[in-house]
Structure 1
Amino acid sequence: MIIPQIVSPAGNFTKLKIALAYGADAVYAGVNHFSLRSRTAKEFDYKSFEEAIEYTHLRGKKFYVTLNGFHLSTQIEGLKRHILKLRAMKPDAFIVASIGIMNLVKEFAPEIALHVSTQANVLNYLDAQVYKNMGAKRIVIARELGLKDAQILKQNCDIELEAFVQGSMCFAYSGRCLISSVQSGRMSNRGSCANDCRFSYELYAKNPENGVLFRLEEDENGTHIFNSKDLNLCSYIEKIMKEDCIDAFKIEGRTKSEYYVAVATRTYKMAILDVLNNQFEPEKYEKEIHTLKNRGFTDGYLISRPFEKNDTQNYITSIEQGTHQVQAFVEDGEFFKCKGKIVPNVAYELLMPLNAKVLECDNELGKIYKKDEKYFVEFKKIISKNHKEFKEIHSGNENQIKMPCKVNEFSFLRKEIE
């Protein structure tokens, strides 16, 4: 059985560290505006990007660079210089959508592996074979591809397959959307999508004979007519792994929160390990994924064919609260930054990487204890790093607050929303 690699988003250096700590085998990120997430590309400069690649390699993990935009002729010379700079950093692969850019990478960085982006919309083994002949090592399959078709593709083309398992979905076929370009001039396939599909829209009809314009009445479906639900395949990991054709599970979300990266990575790592140990429990993974903010969830098209589904859209709202709220982030394990609200004598659940070592304690600052296979922290006093005491602390307060005792770095404090 193939043990799939977990490929997690690295929207910035901190998220990269979190992804690796929570079980990612590889991360993907971009720098400069040649990536499809230009907002996150600004989180890195070339120096910090090189440091991120070194950090990843020191931990025995892989780093994949996104070059998956569709570029204009005026950008090509800049792209050549960009590829040469990245080549010197020795990433493990370039993720590319354009066949012209694939040839450019082969010319300027022939020793770096090529991964074909999902934007290339590979649906069959004939296309896969062409990309393999061009030098591709891996294909990120089109999100519209079903598991049976992926299996046929794999049987007829000896190439690695990577599939999205979690994250935002685009309502347009393989992300080929022009709404953002039309409405705001921000080109989604060049990295600056404005997420116009998440807006609410009102529909109007016009009589061309007399110019009368009238608003169409809404029904129970609401006005979010383009808004796709989020992909969530955690309950199907065992089924996917048994088909033995997917080499890597990809998690979308370079613009999502640190907590999202931690929970999504940890959950899919847990699911894979449980499959290998014959302990697969879908309910356990669903509970974790549902702690995240979302647009509702769908299993997408890997499990069911597109024409078999009618529940992939959320017509009511573009965002829903998850079951839990993050209250604090403990980056170094000793002090936390408040993300919500922390008050004394209230239990907050500790979210940590799998198999994290926890020292239970009870002292003047508070206590850390285990209950129902989970760890919790309760504060008796809220004391900052500079010894100032607070009755309570809220998000926006930049003081670092002392934990009762040291926990794993990159831990989170969370509380169920009542």
Structure 2
Amino acid sequence: MVLFKQISCLLCVIFFLLIDYCFARLSDATFDCLIGPNFWCLNDTTELLCDMNNKSIGLCGYTNKRCKIETGDDFCKSKSPDQEQSPFEFNGGLTGVNDNYFSYYILSLYWPPSTCPLIYNETNNLLSYFCSPHTNVGEPGRERLALHGLWPTFSTSGNYQGWPQFCSSTYKDWSYCHIDGNLCPWTNTTGHGFTQAHYEYCLSRENIQQCLVDATEVLEPEQERLKILAPGYLNQFNLFINHEWTKHGSCCSGTFDNNISHYLTAMLDLTDTVTRPGSLIYEYIQRYAGEKIGLTYLISMLNQTSIINCNSKCELEELQICIDRDQNTGLPNKLIPCPLGARNTSDSCRKARCEYVSIPLRNRLELNIINQDYVPKIWTILIRVIFVLLVLKLVLVSFGGSYNIFFLPSSQLY
């Protein structure tokens, strides 16, 4: 009997230890669930562990086009094999995640000569967030890396990349600023051609305050730095800053005291730091402006801290710099090697098999043409006139006597 009681007590202790272990594992999973491709295969288990119930994953990757949204097990298993998107190749954002639920930052910088037109047109280029009158040729922010944004990002141990977007917190739910938020009163918002950019333009024009930034309070104090470090943020209707704050800033808003001015200042400070003379970015990007540089060499010299994106001509379009998140403050800390999964998924230069990366300054030549107002010099006009007269003379000589007719005094023509 005594032995039975001892065994029973031992079993009870083991039972409670198992329960404690399971709760510990559950708690750990809350942090670990974002690591690895299984996170994107949402099912009842992972949704419970990650507290991701009723969250949705956008399957559009980097694009803003409206696309099919799926939750739960359907994302990985309900499609036929030829239509299934492997989680190892997935590249997209998770909307409505809780604020401050991420692992590291990406500071994204773009190269205006590859991205913006020679002269910005407020009608045609309105939804090109990167561009503004301050990205025009000859402006100080034109031929240097410029701020795109600072993005909270999930850890990646698989060959994919994911990030939180349009997050929610006790302060505010920013998920309504996503295209599926149904705040835009315009008709035909469900059409395939209606993008996230159109949705945000609608929110601005209709003055939907829930997703708008007070530009007077935020942008004006940084006006001069913005012209150089972030010229696109001076776009019409403040579309760029609205987008970056609602999509990305909302996911680290608690770190910046829910203050967009703090967020913008931090982004500008980081951009200034990583692009100033002596920095890695300056030495291996800015100094090669107008030239080209070997891709493998560039990646090596940047110590794997950057993801390099090119256009179809292997011209530099964007640089995404990986920055550690301080464990105590949550703020951006130091440059770190980008996770392998992020590099493999996002490095478009490698995907395009670019051996070299061109860093174009073609608009400098175009500026010379503009300065000349396309007016040929006087000597080129004279040469053309002389050439035409010589050709005309040869033609007349070939007609013999008729040549004299053209050169007789008018009195002898009658």
Flag whether TM exceeds 0.5 (same fold).
no
TM-score by length of 1: 0.24
For the pair shown, the structure with the greater C-alpha radius of gyration is 2
Normalized per residue, which structure has more strand?
1
TM-score by length of 2: 0.24
Normalized per residue, which structure has more helix?
2
